[in-house]
Amino acid sequence: KKSSYMFVTGPDVVKTVTNEVVSAEQLGGANTHTKKSSVADCAFENDVEALSEVRRLIDFLPLNNRERPPVRPFFDETGRIEKSLDTLIPDNANKPYDMKELIFKTADEADFYEIQAEFAKNIVIGFIRLEGRTVGVVANQPMVLAGCLDIDSSRKAARFVRFCDAFEIPLLTLVDVPGFLPGTSQEYGGVIKHGAKLLFAYGEATVPKVTIITRKAYGGAYDVMSSKHLRGDFNYAWPTAEIAVMGAKGATEIIHRADLDQAEKIAQYTKDYEDRFANPFIAAERGFIDEIIQPHSTRKRVCRAFASLRNKKLKNPWKKHDNIPL
């Protein structure tokens, strides 16, 4: 921080060519690259902290792409019950909560190494250990933009998923996503193509994939977040999960457009839609969810799922290279 810079052309060249006056820090400092451009994954105060954190990161990774990630001794109970998770989801569906709390309470010894913490904060990525084994985590963050997916978060998560797949690191996906972020800036920026990067990354990944839906999982964003349709191995849902094409109010206004002027009827239709779809049981009936689990047993169920997938072998059809939507 405040001492390192990266840029293709420096401030002097920028001034000469475009007449923009910009400092080296603004143009290519640590803040710029960790918060805006995502060129850098993390920034640190000094060399000592940087080296310490790099050592911690490498401790999670295998020696190369043919080796398995290292297994470390762990001192946490596999079947640990976390009663506090039963009250993590607020009663009001529009209230946020911190998804990192679930990550910390699921991981061995609450150890979570977050990557790109300052960029696209509506999605959280990083490494944890379960039973001493490295697992990559991708999680929506309801505290930022209600956990919506957008261009930046899709790119951030897609690259991480592909990294984990390249080094045989299993993937845990925690889902609370109300959809893709709407707006002209997103559409003009190509959110369809960037969202497809994440879809492609999950579909292509052959590592063990375990997904937990905690609350909202709507529309295309539900599909993209390691759903059963993208070869998810175990897809669990909490009882608070809502899996549908869209929220009850929006869906009702489209289905019953003819009755929009009758508030009572619309309210009744909305309630009927909520009763029918604002729960994970319909999705479970159709096989899109393997099991509905209690929040307090999340760690136990996830550990058991990954243990059963340790010898998973899956190969994609041979090709020279894939054609990810760039």
Phi and psi at 270, nearest 5°, equal: -65, -45
What is residue 239's DSSP assignment? T
pLDDT digits (tens, 9 = 90+) for 127-170: 999 999 999 999 999 999 999 999 999 999 999 999 999 999 99
Q: Which residues lie below 8 Å from residue 188, measured CB to CB, with a gap of 6+?
A: none
Look at residues 207, 131, 133 and name the one whose alpha carbon lies nearest to residue 173: 207
Which of 86-90, 264-268, 292-296 has the weakest average pLDDT? 264-268
pLDDT digits (tens, 9 = 90+) for 263-288: 888 888 888 888 888 889 999 999 99
How far apart are the C-alpha atoms of 115 and 160, rounded to whole Å? 9
How far apart are the C-alpha atoms of 31 and 42, rounded to whole Å? 9
pLDDT digits (tens, 9 = 90+) for 113-124: 999 999 999 999
Q: What is the mean pLDDT of residues 286-312?
A: 96
pLDDT, residue 257, reads 84
- Which carries the bigger pLDDT value, residue 147 or residue 250? 147
- C-alpha triplet 155, 158, 164: angle, nearest 5°: 140
Whole-structure pTM value: 0.94
pLDDT, residue 34, reads 95
